[in-house]
Amino acid sequence: MSGGGTMNDDDGGLKEQNPSIPFLAGPIHCFQTLFSEWYLIQNLVKRDLRARYKRAALGYGWTFIEPFLLSAVYYALFTIIAGNPEKLYSMWVLIGVITWGHFSRSLQGTLSCISRNGGLIKQVYFPREILVFSPVLTQLVIALLSLTALIPVMLYLNVAPSNNIWMVPIGFILTTMMAMGVGMMMAPLNAISEDIGHLFRFITRAGFFVSPVMWTYEMMIERTGGSSQWIDIVMLNPMVIPLTLVRHGIDGTPLVLETNHILYCVIFAFASLFIGTSIFKRWEAKVVKYL
């Protein structure tokens, strides 16, 4: 097999390596690859995790230590120095940092999956969506491991798991879908011009502040005085719902969200993933010449 346009099939003939795939069939092909190449993807995730921590004496312990240290910093800044009276605030920020970190790193990994692997792509043919699934799943594993940093915080704050825990996986699923969808949508364009990558690095940094990482949905409701106009504007950010779900799933406090805001987030997640996979499968082979 080579990086050319054809390869031998099982019958000894030739078949097109990069067949033209109908736009609407992109999602089907991507998820067929996810299941058919699961063993390979799983091994790539393990390789990425080992590479991330192989030179660190504490190894995987950093998935716990890093967010825990961040929580200590935010607790000092916003509870002790700024005088925030809410005792759960440090935990809320830690949850927001972990969830947003998963979204940001997954988006960047997906966005650069073609440009970052140009040498490999030009050498040999393989389903390029593998380059999407492996970094996203790696970041998901890291995020879930990082949640263990919440255990001592929850013990200190006397917060116990509740029946709302089901919100946590739902929040992470929506976050993952949006990161993959938007990233796959932009990945072919980023292979042509890496200005796209620079732009999205700015967007994710700015998004840290305009998303409920350092603030909460309830704080926003209180600050806007319940004005539906301002609330609707804030809720145009599709990450508000996943971050809020994860936060309330862990702290167990009651959650009241408008149905239209939930529907908007779910539709955005599914639509971005559908459009993203369709664009990726349609254009990923065509942009290889720009690498």
C-alpha 14/C-alpha 215 separation (Å) is 57
C-alpha 114/C-alpha 132 separation (Å) is 9
- For 91, phi then psi, to 5°, come to -70, -40
pLDDT tens string 183-240: 999 999 999 998 999 999 999 999 988 999 888 999 898 888 777 788 889 999 999 9
How high is the pLDDT of residue 1? 41
pLDDT tens string 33-84: 888 899 989 998 988 888 776 666 666 666 777 777 776 777 677 666 656 6
How high is the pLDDT of residue 14? 43
Q: Count CB atoms within 10 A of the CB of residue 98.
A: 25
3-state secondary structure of 211: coil
Given a contact cutoff of 8 angstroms between Cβ atoms, the answer to whether 71 and 91 are in contact is yes
Q: What percent of the chain has pLDDT over 90?
A: 43
Residue 236: which H helix or E strand, with range? Answer: none
C-alpha 291/C-alpha 289 separation (Å) is 6
Q: Count CB atoms within 10 A of the CB of residue 38.
A: 11
C-alpha 250/C-alpha 108 separation (Å) is 26
Given a contact cutoff of 8 angstroms between Cβ atoms, the answer to whether 265 and 240 are in contact is yes
How high is the pLDDT of residue 71? 67
Position 268 confidence tier, pLDDT thresholds 50, 70, 90 = very high
Q: 18 exposed, middle or buried (CB, 10 Å; 0-12, 13-18, 19+)?
A: middle
- pTM, full prediction: 0.86
- Helical ranges in 112-166 per DSSP H: 118-123, 130-146, 150-157
Give 279 or 24, the one with higher predicted confidence: 279
**What Cα–Cα distance (Å) separates residue 234 from each residue in 122, 183, 223?**
43, 22, 12
How high is the pLDDT of residue 240? 96
- For 22, phi then psi, to 5°, come to -55, 145
DSSP class of 227: -
- Helical ranges in 37-166 per DSSP H: 38-53, 62-74, 89-111, 118-123, 130-146, 150-157
Cα 244 to chain centroid, rounded:
15
pLDDT tens string 111-155: 999 988 888 888 877 888 999 999 999 999 989 888 888 888 888
